[in-house]
Amino acid sequence: MPRFHVLSNADLHCHSTVSDGTLAPEAVAARAAAQGVELWALTDHDEVSGIARARAAAQAHGMPFLAGVEISVSFAGQVVHIVGLGVDETDAQLVEGLRATRGGREQRAREMAAGLAAVGIPGAYEGALKHVGNPDLISRTHFARFLVESGVCNDIPEVFRRFLKEGKPGYVEHRWAALGDAVRWIREAGGVAVIAHPARYAFSPTAEFALFSEFKTHGGQGVEVVTGSHSDAEAVRYTDMALEFELLASRGSDFHSPAESRTELGSLPPLSAKLRPVWELLEARVS
């Protein structure tokens, strides 16, 4: 039997202060180990600079680790996230691709702040920066934390609903990586590309089919079936999609913060026994 199997408590999607999480990589590692995670990956947005720290912390806790990243992609007019698992975080093409993807975030953030100022919320850029661990990765989440902290909204979902979704005052579109490029960077860095939390995208059935088809054509190999934002019914739906498209199945909480995340590290239900877990393909990449 492989070292890791379908019932393993793997958590292969979470974030640290290197992107938009609130805990340092070492603290996320400690929390994952305390929650009984048997295989862990740090997958910060468009950034791999926390991987060495995460790997060292995981090893200190005796917890098997996979290097990961979550890449922002533009597809059919929406932002889609592609997780790369088992990547070589020093791969020059991956590092340069991520740098290019991060480019433009500062200008976007200033435009978001201007939109919020126009509706009576001044100082949002400076307020958001107080919540940023890595200024290159300032994001809507950092603005959301500022708006909650300043009492404009009660919680982060309310911020997005009122101010940061498309058509709202603080929304500014950003052109992310192309799907094919993101998958290629991951594959050529020795990793496996996975569609993150597919139920979160507001695609029609036709557009979703196109996403899965194009993803597989480019060499994508996996999909998150069990994740923090999926209901039980959605997990069943994407179990069927994984089987239909012959994709490996992944599992991850998408943990960002003890105060904000709806799902704790390591607390997800197991994958269906009908699926082949992505980690079976990545055993050689575990450190």
Distance between CA atoms of residues 67 and 36, nearest Å: 19
**Contact assessment for residue 99 and residue 84, using Cβ atoms and an 8 Å cutoff:** no
Rg (CA), the chain: 18
pLDDT at 2 (0 to 100): 66
Q: SS3 for 162?
A: helix
Give the residue from 52, 21, 71 showing the smallest Cα distance to 193.
71
**Contact assessment for residue 144 and residue 162, using Cβ atoms and an 8 Å cutoff:** no
**Contact assessment for residue 77 and residue 100, using Cβ atoms and an 8 Å cutoff:** no
Instruction: Give the helix ranges, DSSP H, for 78-204.
Output: 92-102, 105-117, 124-129, 140-149, 156-159, 179-188
pLDDT at 1 (0 to 100): 45
pLDDT at 66 (0 to 100): 98
CA angle in degrees (0–180, nearest 5) for 262-220-38: 45
The partner residues of 250 in beta bridges, in order of sequence, read 224
Q: What is the mean pLDDT of each run of 10 residues along the chain (287 residues)?
A: 79 96 97 98 97 98 98 93 98 96 86 96 95 85 95 95 94 90 98 98 96 98 96 97 98 94 92 96 95
Distance between CA atoms of residues 155 and 220, nearest Å: 35
CA angle in degrees (0–180, nearest 5) for 47-49-50: 105
pLDDT at 262 (0 to 100): 82
Give the residue from 134, 55, 151 showing the smallest Cα distance to 98.
134
Distance between CA atoms of residues 137 and 108, nearest Å: 11
How does DSSP classify residue 59?
H
Q: SS3 for 233?
A: helix
